[in-house]
Amino acid sequence: MSEEQKNIRNFCIISHIDHGKSTLADRFLELTGTIPKEKMQPQFLDMMPLEREKGITIKMQPVRMEYKGYILNLIDTPGHVDFSYEVSRSLAAVEGAILLVDATKGIQAQTIANLELAEKQGLLIIPAVNKIDSPQAKIEETKEELSILLKIPKNEIFEISAKEGTNVKNLLEKVIEKIPCPVGSRSDSFGTSPKGEIEKPVRALIFDSKYDIYKGVIAYVRLVDGEIKDGEKIYLMASKTEGEIKELGFFKPDLKPQKELKTGEIGYIATGIKEPGKVKVGDTIIKFQDSKSKIQNLEPLAGYKEPKSMVFASIYPENPDDFGLLKEALTKLKLNDPSLNFELEAKEALGRGFQCGFLGTLHVEIISERLYREFKLNLVISTPQVSFQIIDKKDRSFFVKSASEWSDPGQIKESLEPWVKLEIITPTDYFGQVFKILEGVEAMAIQNQYFSKERIILLCEVPLREIIVGFYDRLKSQTQGFASMDYEVLDFRPADLVKLEILIAGRKEEAFSRIVPNKKSLQEGKKLVKKLKEVLPPQLFSVALQAVVGGKIIARETIRAKGKDVIAPLYGGDYTRKRKLLEKQKKGKRELKEKGEIRIPQKAFLEILKG
Ligand code: GTP
């Protein structure tokens, strides 16, 4: 093994959302001179404009840094629960993780969830308490909690300020000292993944990918065994697809072409494969010649468990001619976000579109925004739903992922809905507020336990439907951002459900239909028409918004006509011209009203899905 290979360290930073991962990555980029100071901007690795606008990391981002003769491959990961698949894929490509905890917030739900993922992967964990510069920092209490969580003495926990750079150098040097080198021999294994071997045939794990119109699919890889050179022919084991390397290299963090990738390194391979669907994360790249050799008998790498979609929404192009573009856009986005699922759907009221599966409603929002920004698509987005189960009168069972698939009530024998185990972590001071929020939903079997003197973990069972829209925001706003949550699906349980429909100017708008519990239908109907009144743009004629259950109107609002002042440009008192113009406007309004055509902008759909 070369000296250089002995000096490779692959790691990522994990934490709850907003605890400072991207800011810490900034300091590492500066310290190692990877990004010159004058080019530096806060959260440098949040490279998508959408990430910068929302102040959150959506995509993982790898970067290769060099420091005192060491090669340090860092992967910055997102913190929000909807993007946890990004985290788990990053973890499989590295040997260690910095676990960052914000001293002003303490341990939160994704601190624990991401730590569990990292431990399962057998990674070495280096804990650090961040934001020690903040006047609100509770450094000792946070260290106390971390030492309980990790079962380690407090003095092993770093105290840093990612913002000011305090102790960041020491932390990086600890990464070099502690995190194992990825290359060695089979017996020299660490954690769940054995070390890579230079002499072995090439095996590279695809942990992410993106599309390039010139180079085809670019696979982000961790080269586990062997060495691979530019121009070589490759083979993807799971998708049984051949390719030829058009370019390979490192992330600096922009793509930096090289002649070869060595064992243990993290880099990219431009596969030359033009069909996005053929390159899947978790697949193993080997050399084409090895795929033909019986002697090699190569085993694919472990890959990833596909994440299960939690919520479903139908996405249709506003302009039916854009259907092809939408299909292409979703295929390309899936390459970059494999937790997105979609299948073709055709509904009379909506045309041709896709039923899409997401990990949560923030995920729906982000994908919708990306489709709009990156592909210039105006969309109709149905209200996100969980997947319900129906057993019909003939005892046939099926899953319904959108309100438009809901059966005729006369055919339904039983309906069921998914329940989850919800875990909320809150400082004791906010316990009352959290409890109140839980009282407003159908939570069952609430238990609480002290995590530490200052923090309580609440465990309960709730229908998934209750927490997918608005719940997280409520929890955050009622506890000033201190409480946090995580959940996992338990089972399907019987529920009395009905379909709530929305009529706008007398026309059914299928995209706003939703399945709701019978006893909540009135409340939901009222809320929905009220919200629609707020988010729909003013119209030239008055528009009725009606909520309907089983053919009965249960709630109504009216958007008042907001007349355009057609006579404003006319000075003086030319009465006949004024009257003519007003008559013309009246006729126009009547025609529009008769057609019942109301353009619903994408923004309105997004506002509705936020609850
Ligand atoms: P996600 O990736 O979206 O989970 O966020 P993140 O963990 O990458 O957090 P980010 O680096 O975006 O920081 C969140 C906020 O905390 C930003 O406003 C930072 O400026 C602030 N912040 C980060 N580190 C420090 C610190 O050491 N001190 C103080 N006072 N603020 C910090």
**Selected residue with higher pLDDT from 478 and 199:** 478
Please check whether residue 23 is in contact with residue 13, taking contact to mean a CB–CB distance below 8 angstroms: no
Cβ neighbour number for residue 33 with a 10 Å cutoff: 11
Sorting pLDDT into bands at 50, 70 and 90, what band is 135?
very high
Please indicate whether residue 27, judged by its CB atom, sits closer than 6 Å to ligand 1.
no
Average pLDDT over the chain, rounded to an integer:
85
pLDDT score for 95: 92
Please indicate whether residue 43, judged by its CB atom, sits closer than 6 Å to ligand 1.
yes
Q: In what helix (H) or strand (E) does residue 412 lie, and over which residues does it extend?
A: strand 412-427
Given ligand 1 and candidates 22, 101, 168, 476, which is best to mutate, with the most ligand atoms within 8 Å of its CB?
22
Please indicate whether residue 19, judged by its CB atom, sits closer than 6 Å to ligand 1.
yes
Please check whether residue 251 is in contact with residue 266, taking contact to mean a CB–CB distance below 8 angstroms: yes
Kindly list the distances between the CA atom of residue 599 and the CA atoms of 148, 350, 412, 477, 559, in Å, as whole numbers in the listed order. Answer: 56, 13, 34, 32, 14
CA of 23 to the centre of ligand 1 (A): 6
For range 157-165, the mean pLDDT:
96
For range 421-437, the mean pLDDT:
90
Please indicate whether residue 105, judged by its CB atom, sits closer than 6 Å to ligand 1.
no
**Selected residue with higher pLDDT from 344 and 45:** 344
CA of 52 to the centre of ligand 1 (A): 12
| Residue for token pair 């084991």 | 237
Contacts of 368 (CB under 8 A, 6+ apart): 315, 379, 381, 602, 605, 606
Over residues 285-325, the pLDDT tens digits come to 998 887 777 666 778 887 777 778 888 988 988 888 899 99
Eight-class DSSP state of 279:
-
Please indicate whether residue 227, judged by its CB atom, sits closer than 6 Å to ligand 1.
no
Over residues 176-222, the pLDDT tens digits come to 999 998 887 544 554 545 677 777 889 999 988 888 888 889 999 99
CA of 17 to the centre of ligand 1 (A): 9
Eight-class DSSP state of 196:
B
Q: How long is the chain?
A: 611
CA of 363 to the centre of ligand 1 (A): 21
Please indicate whether residue 59, judged by its CB atom, sits closer than 6 Å to ligand 1.
no
CA of 56 to the centre of ligand 1 (A): 9
For range 417-423, the mean pLDDT:
93
Residue 56 CA, closest ligand 1 atom number: 3
Please indicate whether residue 131, judged by its CB atom, sits closer than 6 Å to ligand 1.
yes
Please indicate whether residue 78, judged by its CB atom, sits closer than 6 Å to ligand 1.
yes
Whole-angstrom Cα distance, residue 531 to residue 470?
A: 13
Lookup: tokens for 163: 């913002």
Eight-class DSSP state of 41:
-
Lookup: tokens for 222: 């961790």
Given ligand 1 and candidates 12, 14, 15, 23, which is best to mutate, with the most ligand atoms within 8 Å of its CB?
23
Closest residue to atom 3 of ligand 1, CA basis: 56
**Selected residue with higher pLDDT from 599 and 230:** 230
Considering only CA atoms, which of 184, 207, 204, 205 is closest in space to residue 196? 184
Backbone phi, then psi, for 555, in 5-degree steps?
-155, 150
Sorting pLDDT into bands at 50, 70 and 90, what band is 1?
low
Sorting pLDDT into bands at 50, 70 and 90, what band is 595?
very low
Please indicate whether residue 243, judged by its CB atom, sits closer than 6 Å to ligand 1.
no
Whole-angstrom Cα distance, residue 313 to residue 294?
A: 46
Please indicate whether residue 382, judged by its CB atom, sits closer than 6 Å to ligand 1.
no
**Selected residue with higher pLDDT from 607 and 265:** 265
pLDDT score for 174: 96
For range 554-575, the mean pLDDT:
65
Sorting pLDDT into bands at 50, 70 and 90, what band is 144?
very high
Given ligand 1 and candidates 13, 15, 16, 18, which is best to mutate, with the most ligand atoms within 8 Å of its CB?
18
Q: Where are the beta strands (DSSP E) in 432-496?
A: 444-452, 455-463, 484-494
For residue 314, count CB atoms less than 10 angstroms from its CB and return exposed for 0-12, middle for 13-18, buried for 19 or more.
buried
pLDDT score for 600: 76
Could you tell me how far CA 198 lies from the centroid of its own chain?
36
Sorting pLDDT into bands at 50, 70 and 90, what band is 597?
low
